[in-house]
A and B are shown apart, each in its own frame.
Chain A
Amino acid sequence: MTARRLPQGGRIDRTAPLAFTWQGGKLSGFAGDTLASALLANGVSTIGRSFKYHRPRGIFAAWVDEPNAILDVSRGDWHDPNARATTLALRDGMAASGVNARPDVDHDIYRHIDQLQQFLPAGFYYKTFFPNWHRFEPRIRAMAGLGTLRAIADARHFETRMRTVDVLVAGGGPAGLAAALAAASAGLSVLLADDRFAPGGSLLWDDASIDGAPGDAWAADAVARLRALGAAVLPATTVFGVYDHNTFALVERRAEAPAGWGEDRVWTVRAKQAVLAAGAFERPLVFPHNDRPGTMLASAALQYLRQYGVLVGENIIVTANNDSAYATAIALRRAGAAVSVCDVRATLPHAAQAAQEAGVRVLAGSVVLDSIAGGSGISMADLGPADATSRRFARQRVQADAILVSGGWSPAVHLHSQAGGKLRWDTQAVAFLPVQAQPHQHLAGAMAGTATLHETLHSGHAAGVAAATSLGARATATAPHALPAHPAAPVQAYWKVPIKSARQWLDLQNDVTVKDVALAAREGYTSVEHLKRYTTLGMATDQGKTSNVNGLALLAEATGREIPQVGTTTFRPPYVPVTLGAIAGMRHGALYAPWRRLPAHDEHVSMDADIREYGGWFRPACYPHAGETAAQAIQREASEARRACGLFDGSSLGKIVVHGPDAAEFLNLLYYNELASLKPGRLRYVLLLRETGVVYDDGVVARLAPDRYLLSPSSSHTAGVLALLEAWRQTEYPHLRVALHDTTAAWATFAVSGPRSREVLAPLTTIDLSPEALPHMAFAEGRILGVAGRIARVSFTGERSYELSVPSGYGASLWAALREAGAPFGICPYGIESLSVLRAEKGYILIGTDTDGMTLPDDLGMSGPLRAKKVDFTGKRSLLTPDALRPDRRQFVGLLPLDPTQVPAVGAHAVEIRDGKRRSRGWVTSACHSPALGRSIALGMIERGRELAAAGAEVELFHLGALMKAKLVSPVFVDPAGERLHG
């Protein structure tokens, strides 16, 4: 290809030159260029190496369908290792280079792989490297692939936008503009998204006249009218996904963004009605060696000419099976190129006459039989009859530096298909067309199968009117008008040159050939989905926009079926590649997730707490002293809590208030434990089960009054418990008079635990803390340092403990006051990791740690309520199934390693040898060094655990190839009589 910039023409700004580099060499282009058009204008022919065979490749298309021009491009801090050059606006200072080539695309050391092509058929990797893929994978992966990411985090934020509109129009070509004008004229909110730098679509390069104005001028005027009507017009914005409830995902590629922000911006748009007007893609016409640089879609050549003033060659061959290529041929001829058209149709169409009159040579029933390499691209082409079946067929060798292909048009049905729309094969259009629009969607233009501009405009207008009518509005705009064109001659289905010996490419990005499809069919991959996975046809980043239809047509041919019998693969988002940064939006760094903070968060930070994330909460793991490791701090804090007094921030614990005269009955129907009999002022430890009987959550329930309970679910389960309770209340028990209020955020809660806890607290509250007035599992309300609050006598440490709650605005103040009041008694703040040691010493379970999705109450040794509770409750039936009553279920037990200095790994399996094979009998769920016992301890779920523990059995714990012996014991290691708890 000897492409060059013409002295005039195109939509580029020739007064604004831009400097850029290609593989280190300095080049220049103009504002308005894409990187691809600028490379072509500078005569760059080879821009990459093919994925598998490392063959040289050139620019093939002009927009999102480009399979070859995937380049590594950077500019300042910005870097895209896989930029599609055809959609990337040229910027001053850009540095571009090829990918998948070493050292560069012109001197690729892997180019000799192509000589081994006969040994590299479809399925080569499966056949050659499995089952030992892992041995070869590192080397193969190092050779394969596209660009390479720089190992630097992208510090930029990416903005996201969300909007609800009456009508979304996807596509700003003639159909989309007509649809948007109609909908906006009805007074509706309209958003038109067009992926090009300016709306207009084919009007920007096709010869067109609408309402007496040139097509491009009409498009610009249409945009102005839309904005005047209040519609939002987003250029450079691609609708890339359709989701439930008519929700659409768009990516906007802005020219500029504020400092620290990325240019790409993802929109989430909820549309009451949507018009899909995505246009159509030209398909290649396949012939031998059709992958050489210099081969290009005919419509792309027209775009480079009209948009960028670039003539793609001097001696151009156009090979086509439809009329559309003639307009391209005429335009190129008028631009100064020598042009020949090989039309596979035996009878020349009406369009050929105008081409001939313009000086284009036209050959009927003819096709390009081969391209001849020369220089960095094509030097010659062999032309011959379209039905040639061998290389020996009569052929005419002619000079050619560019071969343009046009194999028909494939409507861009991706969004329709993503929405669940069905497709049908239309033999006249030789294309898949939508069967009918999905609900709340309308189809317009070429994607709906229109063939002429006249039809396209009317189709778009009708879609806009229909969208408005669906919303009860009336469009006042009249349909734009274009003169009806001369009817096009039928497209002739022609999928490849019938020469078997030559390589003909279908998927240029993934290097899939006609032979690969034939081989897949011979090997039984006759489903189009299997073909796709076996050959990788259509699986590259262009999603097979230029290859899918040709591929499945050839599969049909190879298997003796019709195309509708073969069908299509499923279209999935994204329609174009979208950067992960744009999808993440602001959700990275400190804003990665909506972390929750405790009311006394700043106090914990000021104490240099080791703050970690637990179930969405930032919580202190421990409070290391200077020079102390976290592990040392945890041991110290746990010891101090047992020796003197500990202080723990438990504000994240759930606080769901259940109000109403039927609150007792409601909770009794849901919880495993009896709650109707609970007396006001008392607490009860409870389990909440799923219908399967599996333990979902545990916690403590306080009865505040006859008609009011306070539930304390575990911190990370509060929302889930509330949702579960609400689901039951609203669906199964709507007759019960109950209200549920999640008041977790309103209260700060601190646990003061240990032998001296009562001494610390007594001066601070009006509540009588004596064992008689406030025994274990009792509750009282009163004043705490002048503020109305409440104290629950409940413990997760095994020590005498008091949980103090005040309104959360006072949380920070109470934390400081407790530290001050406790100082004389040696109060020691302890974090959640230290608490985990304390609770493990007592054998208290941690939901999700000691339990899993199969744990039943009896597995935890809590079978009492099942026997004693008189009323039905959620999950009860499941607890009576044979599986629930199996004697060999895994049960919660303690484990004492025989070597007291060794702490077993959490997850280590208790193993036995049965029938010569090692099998698991259960596993360790928690393990730590116990400061109270001065040795290692563990908790676990072991088959028949209680029976084995009673017998003093030992088990072998297996982890990462190492074995450790442990004795099964009761899970309560400290104070089994509960004297410290009740003291």
Chain B
Amino acid sequence: MDNLHRRPFTGTVEAPGFAVRVLDLPAQFYVPCDQPPGSIAGADTYTLWLAPDLALQVGGAPPEGFVSDMADGLVVFELSGPRAADVLAMGSTVALTPGQCVRTLFGGVRVIMYLHGAAMRLHAERQFAAFLLQWFQTAASALPQGQVP
């Protein structure tokens, strides 16, 4: 019998001034945390503060110690475009600032959110990925169809 094959969650949303890509990030680990609440540490490989004593490392190799591999557990949505902020405002009160991450509810789903370059990233547990993708598709239809700001 053939070996198992991996099927990452996929999907995209395209709307005037707004796009969502689902990223398959192969390195995501729950790791011990020694950084300030709400902070992002690092650059190419970075850690996001999640809770007391808990962070999410994105990229790189797993560190020593109490580590759980979450690559298959967390789906990453990358939101971009000038109207991404409008969509963000439909799902959360959070005002994102560079260098900070937020663990909050977005559209009723617990996510980890932060700015990543010119885009926004949301990490959500895999079981919610289909719901969130549909949520983004629906929200995109509420955006005005006129000229993109």
In angstroms, Cα B66 to Cα A487, docked, is 75
Closest 4 CB pairs of A and B: A746-B73, A786-B3, A745-B73, A659-B66
- Number of A residues, CB within 8 Å of B: 59
Residues of chain B touching chain A, judged by Cβ–Cβ distance below 8 Å, are 1-8, 30, 32, 51-54, 66, 68-74, 89-95, 107-109, 125-132, 134-135, 138-139, 141-145
A745 touching B127 in the complex, CB below 8 Å, given contacts A764-B1, A812-B7: yes
Q: Which of A162, A590, A652, A821 has the most CB of B within 10 A?
A: A162
Q: Smallest Cβ distance from A338 to chain B, in angstroms?
A: 51
A-side residues, CB < 8 A to B, are 157, 159-164, 247, 257-258, 260-261, 268-270, 586-587, 590-591, 593-599, 601, 617, 652, 657, 659-660, 726, 730, 739-741, 743-747, 763-764, 784-787, 806-810, 812-814, 817, 820-821
Contacts of B134 in A (CB 8 A): 590-591
Q: Which of A163, A743, A763 contacts B93 (CB 8 A)?
A: A163
Question: Is there contact, CB below 8 Å, between B71 and A258?
Answer: no
Given A260-B141, A269-B93, A810-B72, 19 other A-B contacts at CB below 8 A?
A162-B93, A163-B89, A164-B93, A261-B142, A587-B108, A591-B135, A596-B131, A617-B127, A739-B54, A743-B30, A743-B73, A745-B126, A746-B70, A746-B74, A785-B2, A785-B4, A807-B72, A809-B72, A820-B1
From B144, which residue of chain A is reached at the shortest CB distance?
Answer: A258
Closest residue on chain B to residue A730 by CB atoms: B52
Assuming the contacts A164-B93, A746-B69, asked whether A258 and B145 have C-beta atoms less than 8 A apart, the reply is: yes
Given contacts A743-B70, A807-B71, A810-B4, are A164 and B95 in contact (CB under 8 A)? yes
Chain B residues whose CB sits within 8 angstroms of the CB of A659 once the complex forms: 66, 68
**B139 with A787: CB separation less than 8 A:** no
Q: Name the one of A586, A590, A739 contacting B66, with C-beta atoms under 8 angstroms.
A: A739
With a cutoff of 8 Å between Cβ atoms, the chain B residues found around residue A160 in the complex are 90
Interface of B, secondary structure class, is loop
Taking CB atoms, residues of chain B closer than 8 Å to A247 are 93
Q: How far is the CB of B26 from chain A (nearest CB, A)?
A: 10
Question: Between A and B, how many residue pairs show CB distances below 8 Å?
Answer: 147
Asked if B89 contacts A594 (CB within 8 A), the reply is no
| B1–A746 CB distance below 8 A | no
Q: Let me know if A746 and B72 touch, CB within 8 A.
A: yes
- In the complex the two chains form, what is the Cα distance from A806 to B94 in whole Å? 35
Q: How far is the CA of A258 from the CA of B32 in the complex (A)?
A: 46
Chain A: minimal CB distance from B105 (Å):
9
Q: Is A162 in contact with B91, judged by CB distance below 8 angstroms? A: yes
A160-B90, A591-B131, A591-B134 given as contacts; is B4 within 8 A of A806 (CB)? Answer: yes
Q: How far is the CB of A496 from chain B (nearest CB, A)?
A: 47
- Residue of A161, A247, A652, A660 contacting most chain B CB atoms (<10 Å): A161
CA distance A726 to B95 in the complex (A): 27
Pick from B4, B52, B108: contact of A594, CB below 8 A: B108
CA distance A599 to B94 in the complex (A): 30
Among B94, B132, B135, B138, max chain A CB count under 10 A is at B138
| Residues on A with beta carbons closer than 8 Å to the beta carbon of B127 | 596-598, 617, 652, 744-745
Using Cβ atoms and an 8 Å threshold, which residues of chain A touch B69?
A: 743, 746, 807
Decide: B74 and A593 in contact? CB cutoff 8 A. Answer: no
User: Given the complex, which residues of A lie within 8 Å of B72, measured CB to CB?
Assistant: 745-747, 807-810
Provide the bound-state CA to CA distance between A743 and B141, in Å: 34
Q: Which residues of B contact A159 (CB under 8 A)?
A: 90, 139, 142
With A745-B74, A745-B127 as given contacts, are A787 and B93 in contact (CB-CB < 8 Å)?
A: no
CB distance from A112 to the nearest CB of B (A): 50
A residues less than 8 Å from B132 (CB atoms): 594
